[in-house]
Amino acid sequence: MNRPLFKKADFILIAAVLLVAAALFLLVPKERGRYAEVYVNGKVVATLDLTKNTTASVTGAPSVTIEVKDGAAAFVASDCPDKVCIHTGFVSVSGQTAVCLPNRVQLRIKGGDDDVNLDAVVY
């Protein structure tokens, strides 16, 4: 193939994408959350206090179990084929989200400085 692997313009494209990704990453405040919301089909089915260690199955998705431990929450059991939810591990930062797509379950950490409000972030 005569087509080159890279051209000069590619590095500009790549740098731009990485810059945007880094900016988005840095803009989101990294605060520990206070509670975790559990969603099934986009609706909140449970709110878990992160200060109380617990293990519970999800209402509306009984095969899914979520554990709260030491201020963090994680999927610990699920009947889904890929187990991406479990591999995500414990999440604890406000805004951080773990999902189990096949069961349509979402675990979202909330309440660092309550909801993420970019306009209010000052460094």
Q: Which two tokens stand for residue 47?
A: 């709110």
Binding mask 36-75 toward other proteins (x if CB under 8 A, else -) reads: ---x-xxx--------------------------------
> Is residue 117 at the binding interface for other proteins, with CB under 8 A as the rule?
no
Return the number of the residue (43 or 52) whose C-beta is nearest other proteins: 43
Binding mask 96-115 toward other proteins (x if CB under 8 A, else -) reads: xxxx-xx-x-x-x-------
Provide the minimum distance between the beta carbon of 28 and other proteins in the complex, in angstroms, as a whole number: 8
Span interacting with other proteins, options 3-11, 46-54, 60-68, rule CB under 8 A: 3-11
3-state secondary structure the chain: CCCCCCCHHHHHHHHHHHHHHHHHHHHCCCCECCEEEEEECCEEEEEEECCCCEEEEECCEEEEEEEEECCEEEEEECCCCCCHHHHHCCECECCCEEEECCCCEEEEEECCCCCCCHHHCCC
Residue type, 84: V
> Is residue 1 at the binding interface for other proteins, with CB under 8 A as the rule?
yes
Binding site for other proteins (CB under 8 A): 1-7, 9-10, 13-14, 17-18, 20-22, 24-25, 28, 39, 41-43, 80-82, 84-85, 87-89, 95-99, 101-102, 104, 106, 108
